[in-house]
Amino acid sequence: MRSNPMQQLNNLTIRKTMDTVEINKSIMELNHKKEKLQNEVDDIEAQINFLACMRERQRMTDDEKSGQSLFDQMFGG
């Protein structure tokens, strides 16, 4: 379950009296964290796509084998 954004902000050193420099620093930290998480998501998506391609190649190979098997059954190969 996702926590409230304000609760997440409390994990940073956020105060009501922050100056612009401190706010910018916190924004940079959040952007860096977001970029790292996006890289993780991209890596996971690449792995999923790789496995999906492997599955498709395997299906094609299985189909070819079953087609060859049917050919052998029909024509005594």
The Cβ of residue 76 has, within 10 Å, a number of other Cβ atoms equal to: 6
Token pair belonging to 18: 């922050």
User: Which pLDDT score is estimated for 60?
Assistant: 79
Residue 71 · residue 77 · CB < 8 Å: yes
Start-to-end CA span in the chain (Å): 59
pLDDT per position as a tens digit, 15-46: 677 889 988 998 999 999 999 999 999 999 99
pTM above 0.85, yes or no: no
The pLDDT, as a whole number, for residue 61 is 79
Please give the structure tokens belonging to residue 6. Answer: 């304000």
